[in-house]
């Protein structure tokens, strides 16, 4: 039975490319750990709000610099962590994995550096969680975002029980 | 071992913001229930089709009003529920949670009220499922959508077994 | 207790539409299999790279034809399979289901054939995995993508253990 799909690929004349090496703080794939307490958490798309007020309003490629875009992405990620802490009942040590970030960059039609912008969020995840912060990611450009902000980032995480907590 | 991540945050000089309070029918985060019968269901992006024909063709900020955009989002959500009923073998009482909505709003580059548009879908989920309808959400603008419709919405739900059905 | 949600729908005056029939290689919904070894895998958004170089740079509706867009989507899907093979420790026979594809098409504001473009990725999944390749899908237009490529596709799959491998 083994090798069925590989045989089909061969039959179709398909040779798979090498999986591209990651040159940043995100990775090609992530997997939900098989631990029985692993729990999927979805965090709503966050915008760069500080004290309830939108920061970094504008478009990459026109009125927001790459550095400002990265700051916007980092601020989105901080708001993600705030919700994640609430989801974990205040205990961020329960975070097993950052599974996915979805980054939307508000930009002009000729801007193409979304990956560098979204790195502002990706880098924070690895600063905070180490290897558990390495995530799968999609980064795309869009022509507009809520309140006119430069970046929106959504996320999926895996939470486990607290250390020492009996498995339930 | 406890407080490891909090210690790292402090070391990095990061103070997390307050998690923003939700002012609508979506929430900051959702989690897959840990019940053994909890089953993740993914619903394809739905457009505002009625009887197989696209409704609300056009762009927010140009030729579609906010109210029409909300109607479009609600119609997307009705199509989501149609697929969800099929996924639940006809028994919508098996729905445990609306985990996530992804809302794409076809709009001009200066339109910024996507959240209000996508509320047309979010509100329906809570009307129908009550608290189980409160979901995590991403709402973004895009410059075009299939068939030129104003809104597309995709979804993730959690289904359980039917009431009284033995766990499998 | 049965029929609670159906009763609420009736009370709200909502009659659900028929779930639209799929006319392509994607479907209205997918579900995570309830097998204990079913494991969710998330693949990062892939662009049409060949030997590390971007192919199909440009926008649908302006300088990329529908056929070229489909080739771009297929190339994204090949890169997805490369990462999936790595995620499965080299054994693609462990793939139980393609759960979701997310397709982003770089296009002009009046282009509306994203579904046909993303079919280039969807079709490959069914060629390779048969029924297990049928997936839920979102396909939207965006005004720009990394490196200026025409298409980006991300994915979620379900992996099981290898055939004959004891369940863990």
A2 — pLDDT class (breaks 50, 70, 90):
low
C164 — pLDDT class (breaks 50, 70, 90):
low
DSSP B132: G
Question: Average pLDDT for residues C68-85, to the nearest whole number?
Answer: 98
User: Of chain A residues 109-148, which have a CB less than 8 A from chain B?
Assistant: 109, 127-129, 142-148
Contact B6 A145 (CB under 8 A): no
Q: Which residues contact C130 (CB under 8 A, 6 or more apart)?
A: none
Please name the residue that has the structure tokens 């059905």: B165
DSSP C110: T
**DSSP β-bridge partners for residue A101:** A137, A155
Q: ∠ CA(B114), CA(C9), CA(B155), 5° rounding?
A: 40
Three-state DSSP at C14 gives: coil
Phi, psi of A102 (to 5 degrees): -115, 115
pLDDT digits (tens, 9 = 90+) for A110-137: 999 999 999 999 999 999 999 999 999 9
In a domain? residue B52: yes
Report d(CA A70, CA A117) in Å as an integer.
5
Phi, psi of A97 (to 5 degrees): -165, 140
Chains contacting C (3+ CB pairs below 8 angstroms): A, B
C103 or B52: which leads in pLDDT: C103
- Determine which of B10, B14, B16, B42 to mutate to test the interface with A (most A C-beta atoms within 10 Å): B16
Contacts of C128 in chain A (CB under 8 A): 5, 8-9, 12, 14
In a domain? residue A52: yes
In a domain? residue A20: no
Pairing state of beta strands B53-54 and B49-50?
A: antiparallel
In a domain? residue A31: yes
Domain ranges, residue B58: 22-159
pLDDT value for A6: 96
Token pair for residue A144? 């507009």
C6 at interface of B, judged by CB pairs closer than 8 A = yes
Token pair for residue A87? 């989801």
pLDDT value for B1: 45
pLDDT at C23 over 80: no
pLDDT digits (tens, 9 = 90+) for C42-53: 999 999 999 999
What are the DSSP calls for B83-117, one per residue? HHHHHTTT-GGGEEEEEEEEEEEEB-TT---HHHH
DSSP B19: P
A34 — pLDDT class (breaks 50, 70, 90):
confident
Contact B159 C32 (CB under 8 A): no
In a domain? residue C17: no
Question: Average pLDDT for residues C12-37, to the nearest whole number?
Answer: 89
Token pair for residue B165? 């059905």
Quote the distance between the C-alpha of residue C85 and its chain's center. 16
Question: Average pLDDT for residues B72-80, to the nearest whole number?
Answer: 98
- Determine which of C29, C106, C113, C155 to mutate to test the interface with B (most B C-beta atoms within 10 Å): C29
pLDDT digits (tens, 9 = 90+) for C147-162: 999 999 999 999 998 8
Of C18, C107, C156, the CB nearest to B144: C107
Quote the distance between the C-alpha of residue A17 and its chain's center. 24
pLDDT value for A168: 45
Of A6, A16, A140, the CB nearest to C104: A140
Q: In degrees to the nearest 10, what's the CA dihedral of C107, C109, C113, C115?
A: 70
- Determine which of C50, C110, C142 to mutate to test the interface with A (most A C-beta atoms within 10 Å): C142
pTM: 0.96
pLDDT digits (tens, 9 = 90+) for B103-124: 999 999 999 999 999 999 999 9
Report d(CA C167, CA C164) in Å as an integer.
9
Report d(CA A144, CA B112) in Å as an integer.
7
pLDDT digits (tens, 9 = 90+) for A58-116: 999 999 999 999 999 999 999 999 999 999 999 999 999 999 999 999 999 999 999 99
C61 or C52: which leads in pLDDT: C61
Report d(CA C89, CA C129) in Å as an integer.
17
**Among residues A156, A99, A38, A164, which one has the least CA distance to residue B34?**
A38
**Among residues C147, A46, C31, which one has the least CA distance to residue B16?**
A46
Three-state DSSP at A26 gives: strand
Report d(CA C25, CA C92) in Å as an integer.
20
C130 — pLDDT class (breaks 50, 70, 90):
very high
Report d(CA A141, CA C113) in Å as an integer.
18
- Here the ipTM equals 0.95
User: Of chain C residues 44-73, which have a CB less than 8 A from chain B?
Assistant: none
Report d(CA B38, CA B168) in Å as an integer.
11
Report d(CA C152, CA C150) in Å as an integer.
7
- Number of domains making up chain A: 1
Token pair for residue B33? 């229930």
Token pair for residue C58? 């440009």
Contact C145 A141 (CB under 8 A): yes
Domain containing A39 — which CATH number? 3.30.1330.40
In a domain? residue A11: no
| Closest CA–CA distance from residue B117 to any residue of chain C (Å) | 17
Please name the residue that has the structure tokens 């103070």: B15
pLDDT value for A27: 96
């Amino acid at each position: 039975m083994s090798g069925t799909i590989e045989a089909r690929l061969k039959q179709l004349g398909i040779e798979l490319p090498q999986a591209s090496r990651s040159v940043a703080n995100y990775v090609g794939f992530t997997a939900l750990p098989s631990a029985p307490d692993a729990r999927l958490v979805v965090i709503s798309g966050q915008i760069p709000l500080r004290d309830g007020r939108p920061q970094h309003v504008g478009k990459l490629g026109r009125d927001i610099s790459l550095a400002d875009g990265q700051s916007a992405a980092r601020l989105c990620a901080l708001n993600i962590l705030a919700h994640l802490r609430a989801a974990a009942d205040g205990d961020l040590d329960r975070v097993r994995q950052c599974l996915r970030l979805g980054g939307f960059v508000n930009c002009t039609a000729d801007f193409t550096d979304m990956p560098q912008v979204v790195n502002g969020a990706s880098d924070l995840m690895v600063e905070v969680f180490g290897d558990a912060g390495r995530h799968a990611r999609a980064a795309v450009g869009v022509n507009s975002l809520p309140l006119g902000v430069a970046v929106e980032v959504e996320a999926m995480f895996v939470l486990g029980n607290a250390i020492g907590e009996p498995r339930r």
